[in-house]
């Protein structure tokens, strides 16, 4: 406020000073402005040359026309022609594939869409933003966060008050030039110091407290999203991977953007409302008496409403582009990450050209989206750049007649203009911040959708424990997480009144001492049936083996029994997503396990427990038993995923089982990288656990080899149907029944081999005779 007003004051002061100097030099007459030589006009510009102006010339319409002659006849046509030519040709240089579809590269456009309606950009956005902000202010930010916020509001209000004081001080300061006085000068200098030191303090602490507050908020929002996502990563990837892209980007980038943008928009709205109240009151009190007191405010409102509507109609797709930009950026980054993670395969397959093509394809989508955003923003800029200057002319047209007829003074006119400007600035919040609001909408939607789907899975796990159902438990689950995080935002040793002492820690209870079972039909993520009527039981203290051909579905059954596979329809009447394994203490070794890196061997063998969870001598003993005496020692950091060989990694997993003694161990062909002798050795070690009550479920192609470690056997039988599809069924069997059939098969195989070798020998003899 003050800066603009001061600018206007100084401009008019400067103008008057120049005019009076000129008048003093040349008297009242002055020479009329002559057209300048072309070179002079081009170099200086007619509009800037005040030396020939007189107060008379300022009032002549003809002079006004001449004042802009260079712009009117040279620069304006040139700019218009250049803009038209540029518009006609520049897209040919764009190097962008306009035909590219802007959906996912795998062709699966998710159901997640950003709501870019007017309501979506205002009311619904505010609702969703408040929901997300509540996570912090009801949890970890309930004490510190609220304190920081109150402090910041206070600093902002003090800042506004100091602005007004400075504005007032400026008037007194400049008056000193007109009425010089030494005591007044000293008082002014004293006040200047006090004012500016106070301003400096508020300025510095506004930024510092703001940074502390935003980091605290971001920290706890990130923890919250990690807490709801990490327990469901597998299910989330299986079910939502197609539509809710790049969860890593949501947790890292979107939370940071949400925090900073919520803050700046909230304070923007606060300042807007304060300005609106203050200046509406001022304007109503200085509106010319010939007009209705509220008429100027109403004009400002109508003008801004018209501007907001136009800008929204033109730019409603901006929120969608912003959301697409985040998705395309995330997809590109994840592809780069994949190349890094799979660098060994890239080098082995010599696939660098193919990888470059894939990367460029992803970047093309970023480019196309950026181009479309740029084109839309250009159109919006045309409206926005018209909007504010047009406003000034409009207000001048309304107020000038009152000034020309002498009803209001120049001072009153300027005051009205300034107040009108501020009010319409406030009303035009949407116009001025349209692109920010669109970006914010995309960020809020991405976080909100992410949160809803993660909570849906958490809910099902908690329902399972509590036997509850419905959206109430969804809310309870979220509250439990927020409560769990709350103490991190409350200073230690605060009285319970201020802190969250009512902690309900979300812990998975110890595994029940029951067997695992699954009675269900299993589906694929596409919705196709994989296997119907699967009945399997894994008793504690015994080993169960599932065998079958490649792709028969062994791993999927293991995942379903462990409660990880979300596409299960239970036939015993329980919830779709409920699996007994979801609650149990299972250590599942997948076909391609991986660990975080870098890690020491001690950390790796203890993971997911902490490195000091097991005793040092136990770790050394168990590593010795599995034959893993690793040269660099227990505590040197390595990338276990690449440093350990496949077989060594599998032995590490067995070592962990022996240390952790889980209730159930699931082995998905987990010894495939070992020699037969070592495999048997590892199973012997695990058999000791089974004798002590651990349940073992393994998969294998060859059940004969591991027969002595299992007591129950299942085989997956695959039949090809007439329509070309496959019917899979899980059938229990007794080894004694299968042995005979398998023996016959083996004899047949050997016979075929002997026949082939015999023919080979005959051919070889013939060739040597001919030679
Ligand atoms: N995430 C998935 N998305 C789609 N299809 C899947 C998925 N996981 C498994 N399948 C399909 O389910 C079928 C069974 O796969 P599964 O991995 O369970 O077989 P398997 O018997 O363990 O095979 P292998 O012995 O080769 O490991 C396969 O046809 C596979 O293509």
Q: pLDDT (tens digit, 9 = 90+) per residue, 547-605?
A: 988 888 999 999 998 888 888 888 765 554 444 445 568 899 988 888 887 888 899 99
Mean local confidence (pLDDT), 348-357: 89
Residue 534 CB less than 6 A away from ligand 1: no
Mean local confidence (pLDDT), 499-527: 66
Query: Ligand 1 pocket test: which of 234, 534, 554 has the largest number of ligand atoms within 8 Å of its C-beta?
Result: 554
120-448 is classed CATH 1.20.140.10: no
Does residue 105 contact residue 331 with C-beta atoms inside 8 Å?
A: yes
Name the nearest CA neighbour of 189 among 203, 201, 172: 172
pLDDT at 718: 87
pLDDT at 496: 58
C-beta neighbour count of 487 within 10 angstroms: 16
pLDDT at 557: 92
Does residue 256 contact residue 188 with C-beta atoms inside 8 Å?
A: no
pLDDT at 209: 95
pLDDT at 415 > cutoff 90:
no
| 151 CB-contact burial (10 Å; exposed 0-12 / middle 13-18 / buried 19+) | middle
Confidence bin at 139 (pLDDT 50/70/90):
confident
95-118 pLDDT tens trace:
888 888 776 544 444 556 677 788
Run of H or E including 731: strand 726-733
Residue 329 CB less than 6 A away from ligand 1: no
Print burial letters for 82-94: b (CB count within 10 Å at least 16), e (below 16). Answer: eeeeeeeeeeeee
698-752 pLDDT tens trace:
998 877 778 888 999 999 988 888 887 888 989 888 877 665 556 556 666 777 7
Q: Which residue has the higher pLDDT, 273 or 236?
A: 273
**Mean pLDDT for the chain?**
80
Residue 384 CB less than 6 A away from ligand 1: no
For residue 244, report the distance from its CA to the centre of ligand 1, in Å: 23
302 in helix, strand or coil?
helix
Q: At what angle do helices 123-137 and 255-286 cross, to 10 degrees?
A: 120
Confidence bin at 406 (pLDDT 50/70/90):
confident
Query: Ligand 1 pocket test: which of 242, 546, 551 has the largest number of ligand atoms within 8 Å of its C-beta?
Result: 551
pLDDT at 471: 61
**Tokens for 601?**
């061997």
pLDDT at 4 > cutoff 60:
no
For residue 250, report the distance from its CA to the centre of ligand 1, in Å: 29
C-beta neighbour count of 451 within 10 angstroms: 20
Query: ipTM of the assembly?
Result: 0.95
For residue 556, report the distance from its CA to the centre of ligand 1, in Å: 6
165-177 pLDDT tens trace:
887 787 788 888 8
pLDDT at 739: 58
Print burial letters for 201-211: b (CB count within 10 Å at least 16), e (below 16). Answer: ebeeebeebbe
Angstrom distance (rounded) from CA 85 to CA 139: 58
What percent of the chain has a predicted confidence (pLDDT) above 90? 23
pLDDT at 646: 85
For residue 525, report the distance from its CA to the centre of ligand 1, in Å: 11
What is the longest distance spanned by two Cα atoms in the chain? 131
For residue 232, report the distance from its CA to the centre of ligand 1, in Å: 20
667 in helix, strand or coil?
strand
pLDDT at 572: 65
570 in helix, strand or coil?
strand
Residue 725 CB less than 6 A away from ligand 1: no
pLDDT at 35: 41
Q: Which residue has the higher pLDDT, 42 or 183?
A: 183
Mean local confidence (pLDDT), 398-420: 79
Angstrom distance (rounded) from CA 164 to CA 170: 10
pLDDT at 87 > cutoff 50:
yes
Q: What is the DSSP letter of 549?
A: S
Angstrom distance (rounded) from CA 699 to CA 557: 10
CA nearest ligand 1 atom 5, residue: 524
pLDDT at 468: 52
Residue 524 CB less than 6 A away from ligand 1: yes
Residue 555 CB less than 6 A away from ligand 1: yes
Q: Which CATH architecture has domain 516-738?
A: 3-Layer(aba) Sandwich (3.40)
For residue 553, report the distance from its CA to the centre of ligand 1, in Å: 5
Residue 106 CB less than 6 A away from ligand 1: no
Give the range among 192-201, 270-279, 461-470, 634-643 with minimum mean pLDDT.
Answer: 461-470
pLDDT at 512 > cutoff 80:
no
Mean local confidence (pLDDT), 157-170: 83
Angstrom distance (rounded) from CA 501 to CA 184: 59
- 553 CA: nearest ligand 1 atom: 18
Residue 556 CB less than 6 A away from ligand 1: yes
Residue 552 CB less than 6 A away from ligand 1: yes
Name the nearest CA neighbour of 391 among 315, 314, 313, 308: 308
268-284 pLDDT tens trace:
888 888 888 888 887 88
Give how far Cα 493 sits from Cα of 147, 216, 499, Å: 17, 19, 9
CA nearest ligand 1 atom 16, residue: 553
For residue 456, report the distance from its CA to the centre of ligand 1, in Å: 26
Residue 239 CB less than 6 A away from ligand 1: no
pLDDT at 464: 53
For the question of whether the overall pTM of this predicted structure is more than 0.80, the answer is no
pLDDT at 279: 80
pLDDT at 639 > cutoff 80:
yes
HSE-up (13 A, CA, CB side) for residue 736: 1
Confidence bin at 85 (pLDDT 50/70/90):
very high
Give how far Cα 105 sits from Cα of 13, 238, 339, 443, Å: 62, 18, 16, 21
For residue 712, report the distance from its CA to the centre of ligand 1, in Å: 23
Q: Which residues, in sequence order, are CB contacts of 756 under 8 Å at separation 6+?
A: none
Give how far Cα 485 sits from Cα of 136, 473, 479, 506, Å: 9, 18, 10, 10
pLDDT at 460: 53
pLDDT at 214 > cutoff 90:
yes
pLDDT at 698: 92
Q: Which residues, in sequence order, are CB contacts of 552 under 8 Å at separation 6+?
A: 716, 718, 728
For residue 105, report the distance from its CA to the centre of ligand 1, in Å: 23
Query: Ligand 1 pocket test: which of 240, 556, 561 has the largest number of ligand atoms within 8 Å of its C-beta?
Result: 556
Residue 525 CB less than 6 A away from ligand 1: yes
For residue 196, report the distance from its CA to the centre of ligand 1, in Å: 71
- 556 CA: nearest ligand 1 atom: 18
pLDDT at 14: 43
Mean local confidence (pLDDT), 367-390: 89
pLDDT at 459: 60
pLDDT at 573: 59
pLDDT at 37 > cutoff 60:
no
Name the nearest CA neighbour of 410 among 102, 8, 3: 8
pLDDT at 213 > cutoff 80:
yes
pLDDT at 657: 93
530 in helix, strand or coil?
strand
């Amino acid at each position: 406020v003050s800066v603009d007003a001061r600018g206007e004051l100084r401009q008019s002061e400067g103008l008057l000073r120049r005019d009076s100097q000129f008048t003093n030099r040349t008297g009242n007459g002055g020479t009329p402005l002559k057209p300048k030589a072309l070179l002079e006009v081009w170099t200086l510009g007619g509009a800037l040359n005040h030396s020939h102006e007189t107060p008379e010339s300022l009032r002549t319409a003809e002079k006004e026309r001449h004042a802009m002659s260079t712009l009117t006849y040279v620069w304006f046509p040139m700019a218009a022609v250049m803009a038209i030519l540029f518009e006609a040709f520049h897209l040919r240089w764009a190097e962008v594939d306009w035909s590219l579809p802007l959906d996912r590269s795998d062709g699966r456009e998710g159901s997640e869409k950003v709501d870019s309606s007017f309501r979506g950009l205002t009311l619904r956005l505010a609702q969703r933003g408040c929901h997300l902000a509540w996570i912090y202010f009801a949890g970890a930010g309930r004490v510190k966060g609220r304190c920081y916020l109150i402090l910041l509001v206070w600093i902002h209000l003090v800042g506004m008050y100091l602005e007004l004081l400075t504005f007032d001080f400026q008037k007194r300061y400049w008056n000193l030039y007109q009425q010089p006085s030494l005591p007044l000068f000293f008082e002014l200098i004293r006040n200047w110091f006090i004012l500016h030191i106070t301003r400096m303090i508020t300025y510095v602490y506004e930024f510092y407290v703001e940074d502390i507050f935003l980091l605290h908020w971001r920290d706890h929002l990130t923890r919250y999203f990690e807490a709801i996502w990490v327990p469901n990563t597998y299910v989330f990837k299986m079910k939502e991977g197609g539509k809710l892209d790049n969860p890593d980007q949501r947790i890292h980038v979107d939370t940071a953007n949400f925090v900073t943008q919520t803050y700046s928009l909230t304070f923007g709205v606060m300042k807007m409302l304060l300005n609106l109240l203050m200046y509406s009151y001022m304007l109503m009190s200085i509106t010319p008496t010939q007009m209705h007191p509220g008429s100027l405010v109403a004009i400002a409102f109508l003008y801004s409403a018209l501007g907001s509507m136009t800008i929204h109609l033109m730019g409603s797709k901006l929120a969608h582009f912003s959301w697409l930009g985040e998705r395309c950026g995330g997809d590109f980054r994840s592809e780069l990450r994949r190349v890094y993670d799979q660098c060994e395969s890239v080098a082995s397959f010599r696939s660098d050209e193919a990888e470059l093509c894939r990367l460029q394809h992803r970047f093309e989508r970023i480019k196309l989206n950026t181009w479309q955003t740029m084109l839309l923003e250009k159109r919006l800029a045309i409206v926005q750049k018209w909007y504010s200057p047009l406003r000034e002319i409009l207000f001048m047209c309304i107020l000038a007649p009152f000034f020309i007829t002498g009803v209001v003074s120049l001072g009153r006119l300027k005051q009205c203009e300034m107040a009108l400007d501020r009010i319409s600035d406030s009303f035009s919040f949407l116009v001025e911040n349209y692109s920010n609001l669109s970006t914010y909408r995309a960020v809020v939607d991405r976080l909100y959708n992410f949160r809803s789907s993660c909570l849906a899975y958490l809910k099902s796990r908690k329902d399972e424990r509590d036997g509850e159902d419905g959206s109430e438990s969804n809310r309870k689950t979220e509250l439990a997480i927020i409560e769990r995080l709350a103490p991190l935002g409350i200073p230690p040793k605060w009285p319970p009144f201020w802190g969250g002492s009512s902690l309900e820690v979300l812990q998975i209870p110890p595994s029940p001492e029951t067997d695992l079972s699954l009675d269900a039909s299993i589906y694929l993520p596409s919705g196709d049936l994989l296997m119907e009527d699967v009945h399997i039981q894994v008793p504690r203290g015994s080993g169960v083996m599932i065998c079958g051909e490649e792709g028969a579905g062994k791993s999927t059954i293991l995942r379903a029994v462990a409660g990880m596979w979300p596409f299960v329809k239970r036939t015993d009447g329980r919830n779709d997503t409920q699996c007994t394994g979801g609650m149990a203490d299972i250590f599942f070794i997948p076909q391609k396990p991986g660990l975080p890196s870098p890690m020491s061997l001690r950390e790796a063998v203890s993971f997911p427990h902490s490195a000091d969870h097991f005793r040092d001598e136990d770790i050394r003993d168990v590593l010795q038993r599995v034959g893993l005496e690793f040269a660099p020692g227990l505590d040197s950091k390595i990338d276990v995923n690449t440093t350990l060989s496949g077989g060594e990694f599998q032995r590490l997993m067995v070592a962990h089982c022996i240390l952790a003694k889980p209730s159930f161990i699931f082995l998905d062909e987990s010894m495939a990288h070992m020699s037969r002798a070592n495999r048997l050795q590892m199973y012997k070690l695990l058999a000791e656990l089974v004798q002590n009550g651990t349940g073992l479920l393994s998969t294998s192609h060859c059940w004969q080899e591991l027969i002595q470690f299992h007591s129950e056997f299942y085989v997956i039988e695959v039949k090809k149907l007439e329509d070309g599809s496959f019917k899979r069924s899980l059938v229990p069997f007794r080894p004694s029944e299968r042995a005979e059939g398998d023996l016959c098969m083996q004899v047949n195989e050997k016979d075929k081999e002997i026949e082939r070798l015999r023919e080979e020998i005959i051919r070889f003899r013939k060739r040597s005779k001919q030679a």
